[in-house]
Structure 1
């Protein structure tokens, strides 16, 4: 499997079944879910409830089973689904049950797992580090002292609630600096700096404000 955890809870077997009913005993089915190790040893995880009595028409049955505790699945383990039939002991012949699967028939078992099973496919609300190229269409909003590094292609608008754009400059530990104003350092001022605020458009530096200063 491509995930490593089965979460405790109710599991549903979605089975499509029929049976030969004319003159035969009533037939019900149930399923088991097992974990098979690389060496072939099997561990029983779930035994489901019984289905309703099968009819001679291909019918979808939702049959439930309970996994009592979380289970860890190794990378070389396999999950095995087995389906069994039970017949009543009354009069009549032995029925033949048919399980329909594949193609357009969605026979399956619905499993529960941890959200980390999808960690490589989806971005979490918090805690993820994204790598590679990420295309975002629309508005990007960063709050709480967020830091953005890299290249922004296209139009960049800096707006602080309509009050103007402010940049926090490296070394300006206390005071935000509005674009077009000389940075104010409340910590240790660097020994020299120039072009303190700079925007590059299509590879060409656009100097918003330049200060040549040194000690």
Structure 2
């Protein structure tokens, strides 16, 4: 809920400003084109993707990987909190908030992508059962690692676990080629981006709803 409430204004407010500029005051479309449905849909999609990716990575993370993820989360929030004032000197709200969110997400996610990818490629182990497995067998091996959960949680997590198994299978098949590292790190960029963006969104929510309330 925190992530949803944090990302919802980022999707709604810029769209509302654009509608104000585009639509005439007496247009009946103003009653329908509020942007709320669009903001709700985009926010819900981001929450589902973010929660699924973060849960997937957290369940199997080693202590070192968890430390890197925590560092990325804290660094993202701190840099955004201190750096957004620079953007706000040049841009008006709500665009200053939106552009500063995107800017600092990319600035932090890119270096952490290389850091996480390098660590994973260097230290991650490949299950011996994968060496001679076919792709369907590799998928079954990956799904067997699902945590003991029932209902929709297992259904949702089966997608990233299946993807991880397929990715490992491809890497093993290409282990004699440098391109294997590329396949192995495909999801790292997406995860880093989602992790950093989530940290920034949570920071915005905290500053808007917790800090201001205390003030």
Alignment TM-score, normalising by the size of structure 1:
0.17
Higher relative contact order by CA 8 Å / sep ≥ 6: 1 or 2? 2
1 or 2, which has the higher strand percentage? Answer: 1
Larger Rg: 1 or 2? Answer: 1
Q: TM (normalized to structure 2)?
A: 0.17
